[in-house]
Amino acid sequence: IQLTQSPSFLSASVGDRVTITCRASQGISSYLAWYQQKPGKAPKLLISAASTLQSGVPSRFSGSGSGTEFTLTISSLQPEDFATYYCQQLNSYPLTFGGGTKVEIK
């Protein structure tokens, strides 16, 4: 199952609302996760089951979608949110990731 993220890069300001899209090549129900990765660090699980926020993740992050189209939204971008974000499908093996979306400071 291929996952296509868009955009691959976005430039935004602190306080902006940011939306990242992940499209699956076939239906995956809600079997999708979102990860955040900062330079030189391991990824961190933000959202499971397409919309379930992990413990400790700020409420400005939210996920939605099912089937083939999913979104990750950051309601008000904070300085610590500048990172690369990946979606991952767990519907079937091989497990796959999207290509990533790098969020940079405008």
Contacting residues toward other proteins, per CB under 8 A: 31, 33, 35, 37, 42-45, 48-49, 86, 88, 90, 93-100
Are 32 and 88 spatial neighbours (Cβ–Cβ below 8 Å)?
yes
Q: How far is the CB of 81 from other proteins (least distance, A)?
A: 19
Identify which of residues 17 and 58 has a Cβ nearer to other proteins in the complex. 58
- Strands 84-89 and 96-97, sheet pairing: antiparallel
The answer to whether the CB of 75 falls within 8 A of the CB of 60 is yes
Q: How far apart are CA 98 and CA 106, in angstroms?
A: 23
Minimum CB distance to other proteins, residue 14 (Å): 26
- Residue closer to other proteins by CB (options 3, 74) is 3
Rounded Cα gap, residues 13 and 24, in angstroms = 28
Task: Kindly state the smallest distance separating residue 90's Cβ from other proteins, in Å.
Answer: 4
